[in-house]
Amino acid sequence: MKRYIKYCLLLIASAWSLVSCNSFLDDNPTDRLPEEEAYKTLSDLRNNALGAVYLNIGGSSSSQGLQGTARSVYDLNTFSTDEAVIPTRGSDWYDGGIWQNLFLHRFGNVDFTGDTWNYLFKEVLAANRAIERIDAYAAQHPDESVVEMRAEARALRAMFLFYAMDLYGRVPLFMTSEPTVQEMKLQDRSVAFKHIVSELQAVDADLPWQASPRPGEYYGRMTHAVADFLLAKVLLNAEVYADDDWTDDQRPDGSAMMWDVEGTLMNTWQAVEYYCEVITFEGYRLADNFEDNFSISNEESPELIFTIPMDIYNYSNRFVYQFRSLHYNHASALGLNGENGASATIEAMNTFGYGTDHEDARLWSTYYYDTVHHDKTDDLVTLDDGSPLVYRPLDVKLDLSNDPYEKTAGARMRKYEIDFAAMSDGQLRRNDIVLFRFADVLLMQCEAMLRDGRAGAEADALLNQVRHRSFMAERTATLDNVLDERMLELAWEGWRRNDLIRYGLFTRPYTDRPQTDGDRHGYTLVYPIPGETLTACGCSQNPGY
């Protein structure tokens, strides 16, 4: 049983690079310090202890990072839903059936779910190690304050636990970098949920108030607004996370759950609204243009709350999503490379009103579809035979092999501005990867009000604030309209699975995805726990696997 724990510790060892650098997020050190030299000052401590946790929020290889890479947290949250699909295109994209199995909710046959688990708990271990280093420094330097730094490490740990709990249901809550077998025991999801909320609330006041997405000392860091966003997001899903038996089709009532929020007792939905209002109070607002959030210089957007910093020279984080989506000729015309894979589903196209007289204005900003033109020159992009490249959104299927539109079916990812200076086939670029933004805050607040029975003008105004920015007609705030707006506003941003589970719609059948037995019994609301973890802790597998 000790073998798995040692394995986890070996995984994290590579993350603890003791670096000497000026940039807090520099992940290309040219020198390494001996451990006794790495934690001499507060600056050393921040760079070398806390920096090891921040280093891997993004990633440069598969299954690493919260977003940006393939076979990762993002893929589990996106390609298992009605938002996007990676079709089999003849000899391309079968990959042993993993993408079909992910879309069809045959999760026991998706071979990277264990890698994602290992990534998340490698980061929990890194956060624990950072806290231990911070505490050791504080003991030796009682006249220096490490409160902010320790709060960051605890909040980061809570964030990784949130993603793990959301994906896998039951998780261990070990608080050291060398957990015992007993500490590796899986905890009920309700226990993990309350622990995450408690941790974020405990450190919230000690976190820096500066804006995380702005270049400078706090660039890419865990700040007060980031923690408040996480609190709103976790509590919005309270009825899901407080349910330890997700197979019985019953959930607790969020309105009956009470929370101590800054000394005031609130129900779940009131607490969500409170944390959303705090973020608004801090000065975050919608960017003037939807596209500003995904531009090459998007760190200037007043809407962004938490991002993965990107730079073609300073960081090695990758952004594979457009590379993975664009047709070969399309990518080549842009001076990039492409793998001709990921596409929008028919359900997504229907939500955007594609092909109708009520198309959403964000359709063009979110997808490439129909006849393709070069983003910069507007020249026609052509196929090898000289004919125009035409993406066919409504002809997408899970298996396109031998289909007339095998290589061209499906609308493709546009959302992020093309960086013509990008390197590594377009994966190493300058657009920061968006994790949390203010449009989501407005939609969470609106939804919380509706779930609290407070439909009306105030909820309508929150929904329509998002719609007005894209010059869309007003809608009445209903739960269905909020869910549609979340697709329209947040497509390709990794939240769809989270949304559908909260709405009780994740397991329903839709185009090319019949309902499985696991769906009918609720098993597929979480992913299977890796077998090596079960061996290490002596725990049972999630139901159905």
Read off the pLDDT of residues 238-279 as tens digits, 9 standing for 90 and up: 999 999 999 999 999 999 999 999 999 999 999 999 999 999
Is the confidence at residue 453, as pLDDT, over 80?
Answer: yes
Read off the pLDDT of residues 74-132 as tens digits, 9 standing for 90 and up: 999 999 999 999 999 999 999 999 999 999 999 999 999 999 999 999 999 999 999 99
If one counts every other C-beta atom within 10 angstroms of the C-beta of residue 164, the result is 24
Is the confidence at residue 545, as pLDDT, over 90?
Answer: yes
- Is residue 116 included in any domain, yes or no? yes
Is the confidence at residue 3, as pLDDT, over 50?
Answer: no
- Is residue 24 included in any domain, yes or no? yes
- Is residue 327 included in any domain, yes or no? no
Q: What is the pLDDT of residue 29?
A: 41
DSSP secondary structure of 9-66: HHHHHTT---B--SSTT----S-B--HHHHTSSHHHHIIIIIHHHHTTSS-SSTT-SS
Confidence band (pLDDT; 50, 70, 90) for 37? confident
Read off the pLDDT of residues 321-366 as tens digits, 9 standing for 90 and up: 999 999 999 999 999 999 999 999 999 999 999 999 999 999 999 9
- Mean pLDDT value across residues 8-37: 41
CB of 222 closer than 8 Å to CB of 152? yes
Of 423, 419, 437, nearest in space to 318 by CA: 423
- Is residue 427 included in any domain, yes or no? no
d(CA 194, CA 185): 17
- Is residue 420 included in any domain, yes or no? no
If one counts every other C-beta atom within 10 angstroms of the C-beta of residue 263, the result is 5
Minimum mean pLDDT range among 40-44, 145-149, 224-228:
40-44
Q: What is the pLDDT of residue 40?
A: 87
Is the confidence at residue 7, as pLDDT, over 50?
Answer: no
Q: What is the pLDDT of residue 32?
A: 55
Of 319, 298, 342, 327, nearest in space to 425 by CA: 319
- Mean pLDDT value across residues 179-200: 97
- Mean pLDDT value across residues 475-489: 98
Residue type, 105: H
- Is residue 440 included in any domain, yes or no? no
Averaged pLDDT score across all residues of the chain:
93
- Is residue 400 included in any domain, yes or no? no
Of 357, 381, 387, 386, nearest in space to 369 by CA: 381
Total domain count, the chain:
1
What's the angle, vertex CA 114, arms to CA 113 and CA 118, rounded to 5? 120
What's the angle, vertex CA 22, arms to CA 11 and CA 144, rounded to 5? 85
H-type alpha helices, 334-456: 346-351, 362-366, 438-451
Task: Identify the domain containing residue 100 by its residue range.
Answer: 2-249+526-537
**Whole-number percent of the chain with pLDDT over 90:** 92
Is the confidence at residue 13, as pLDDT, over 70?
Answer: no
H-type alpha helices, 288-361: 321-325, 328-333, 346-351
d(CA 5, CA 170): 17
- Is residue 12 included in any domain, yes or no? yes
Is the confidence at residue 1, as pLDDT, over 90?
Answer: no
Q: Give the three-state DSSP class for 194.
A: helix
Q: What is the pLDDT of residue 10?
A: 35
Q: What is the pLDDT of residue 38?
A: 81
Q: What is the pLDDT of residue 14?
A: 36
Read off the pLDDT of residues 281-313 as tens digits, 9 standing for 90 and up: 999 999 999 999 999 999 999 999 999 999 999
Minimum mean pLDDT range among 4-18, 167-181, 323-337:
4-18
Distance of CA 189 to the CA centre of its chain: 19
> Domain holding 52: CATH number?
1.25.40.390
Confidence band (pLDDT; 50, 70, 90) for 34? low
Residues recorded for the chain:
545
